[in-house]
Amino acid sequence: MAVYRPHRTECNGYDYTHRACNERCFDMKAIVPVAGKGTRLRPLTHSTPKALLRVGAKPILGHLIDGLLAIGADHLIIIISPDGGDIAAYIRTTYPSLGLDVVIQTEQLGLGHAVSLTEQAARGSDIIIMYGDTIVEGDLSGLIDPSVDGVIAVKEVEDPRRFGVVNVRDGFITRFVEKPEKPESNLAIIGLNYIAKSDVLFDCLREVIDRNMTTKGEYQITDAFELMLDRGLKMKPHPVSGWFDAGTHETLLETNAHLLKTDANCDNLPGSVILPPVFVHPSARITRSIIGPHATIGENVTVENSIVADSIINDNARVSNALLRLSLVGKNALVAGKNEKMVIGDHSSIEFE
């Protein structure tokens, strides 16, 4: 994927023809809200932030940051909860050259509120906003377009009523609608946005909060985008080919299966059988087992005398004498026996077929 860094000259503002600049021409920061509790992924998220759950070769957050780096962002503003210190530690360890600001959201008051908290760190910069459970595929170079005031990544969906959507006319967005009962468009907002006018965005977010414009008790960023349109700003959609949600047990496994098309790293283990595609961390210990297809085995995992398929085994877990399919195993967990004895966390479910 080509990296497109928009270019400014000292006298003329934007130079729209300069699309291959390798130097850092102006400030572009990425905002990633990951303060949510991840309730739909419990019990895994009782002790591990959703952003650090493994999917494919790395945690969800690693895939997000890699995508942001590919489109030219080199400074990250991460929004975490008060107990989200592991997220900041992961970024500093894995991406030591990435500029980082950490903002803490103490109350869960919605995405609009979360982004508003980054004003001191981001105001005046061109920004990318990427939601914390969004993994996007395809050519994203067209997302960064300073010839307009904002670009919103979208994808056609079968049931727009489940999403925020945009209405479009003549190539420009005319309206943002959150979960419309009678949708006029099937272009869902996927959670990746470029804003060239961050000052106006933060002004509109402040207006949303001051006017107490809430949906189910939360401040929505789409309401701020709508206010930007009311002020005459021009925003356009950018269709993407692949959009993967990592917000539920089922979609996490579906996303894992898709990412293994490129993340798979193992087709042979002495003494065991591999059914590709699978990812096995180099530190994992696999003995007398069948792994795959669509299995991800994390760091320092032990699997012995077991079958693991269509599943994710997170770091430091152990699986012994078990048959796992369509399963998620948390960090430092133990799965032993043949469905004879189990220890499971809160909010878990077991289904036998």
Q: Where are the domains of the chain?
A: 8-245, 264-353
- Average pLDDT rounded to a whole number, residues 18-44: 66
Higher pLDDT, 202 or 57: 202
User: What CATH architecture is 8-245?
Assistant: Alpha-Beta Complex (3.90)
End-to-end Cα spacing for the chain? 43
Task: Output the six-digit token pair for 183.
Answer: 């949708």
Residue 52 CA to residue 172 CA, distance in Å, equals: 36
* Whether the predicted pLDDT of 209 surpasses 70: yes
Q: Is the dihedral of CA 155, 157, 162, 164 positive or negative?
A: positive
Residues with Cβ within 8 Å of residue 327, at least 6 apart in sequence? 308, 310, 311, 312
At the topology level, CATH places domain 264-353 in UDP N-Acetylglucosamine Acyltransferase; domain 1 (2.160.10)
Least confident of 21-35, 273-287, 310-324: 21-35
Q: What's the Cα-to-Cα distance from 192 to each of 43, 140, 240, 249, 341, rounded to whole Å?
A: 27, 10, 10, 22, 43
Average pLDDT of the chain is: 82
The neighbouring-strand residues paired with 54 are 59
- Average pLDDT rounded to a whole number, residues 31-52: 79
Higher pLDDT, 18 or 297: 297
Q: What is the pLDDT of residues 88-134, one digit of tens each?
A: 899 999 999 888 999 999 888 889 999 999 999 989 888 999 988 77
Residue 30 CA to residue 70 CA, distance in Å, equals: 12
